[in-house]
Structure 1
Amino acid sequence: MLYNFVVKPGQEDIFVDAWTNLTDLIYKHEGSLGSRLHKSETQQYIAYAQWPRQFVFDKAGSNLPEEADAYRDAMRTSCEKIEVLQKLEVVKDVLKQTPNV
């Protein structure tokens, strides 16, 4: 999944904190493989979330604790726009955790 977030000026810390906490809950309770958040030079953030299989993503959402709602609300409030750009399937993963230097 590829997401686009346009964050309101001055709301960056609130957004990043809420995104981080919600992503952690989704990993712990819904079976995702985690996510990465990137920021452009503008107020635009792009997140990439990875799931082991499409059906795991499709059934996700019902296992989250109540605190997830507060993080979702904080994300919605801190953003001018939230959209799913693409639903993607991993074909090959060569992303590393540390550089080879």
Structure 2
Amino acid sequence: MFIAVYEFEIKEGTETEFRKAWLEVTKAIYQNCGSFGSRLHTSDNPNILVGYAQWPDRQQWEKDHKLTDALYLQARQRMKYCLVQLKTVYQLEVSDDYLQAPPAT
């Protein structure tokens, strides 16, 4: 499994809009590009969000996924509008895994 870790620096006051757009973009990538999905995290800095995306392998992540869906493209533009900068912080291969789902209650 391959993991990409991203740091999103967003403009002040755009967190709600960014998070909505991020979700739409992430759903489209999941549905059309073969990813396993992604998670978005807040940080101690209110203008920095951290996301990580899981993929079956690096090759699937590196493919040129040319999505042309209008909703995806609009969400991507809204996401870009909110950004100051985007960094891919880490590109990781899973070596050991014991991440578990919470027990059912």
Q: Which residue of 2 aligns with 1:7?
A: 10
Q: Cα RMSD over matched residues? A: 1.8
Q: Residue 70 of structure 2 corresponds to which residue in structure 1?
A: 66
Which AA in structure 1 matches 2:7? N
Give the whole-Å Cα distance in 1 for the aligned partners of 2:11 and 2:88: 18
Q: Which amino acid aligns with 2:85?
A: K
In the TM superposition, what are the counterparts of 1:1-101 in structure 2 within 5 Å?
A: 1-42=4-45, 43-63=47-67, 65-98=69-102
Amino-acid identity (%) = 33
**Could you tell me how far apart the structure 1 residues matched to 2:43 and 2:8 are?**
11
Q: Report the residue type matching 1:94 in the other structure.
A: Y
For residues 31 and 22 of structure 1, what CA distance do their matches in structure 2 show? 13
Q: Size of the alignment, in residue pairs?
A: 101
Q: 1:99 to 1:21 in 2, by over 3 A?
A: same
TM-score between the two structures when normalised by the length of structure 2: 0.85
Per-residue deviation at 1:64? 5.3
Q: When the two structures are superposed, what TM-score results if normalisation uses the length of structure 1?
A: 0.88
Contact kept? 1:6, 1:80, Cα under 8 Å: yes
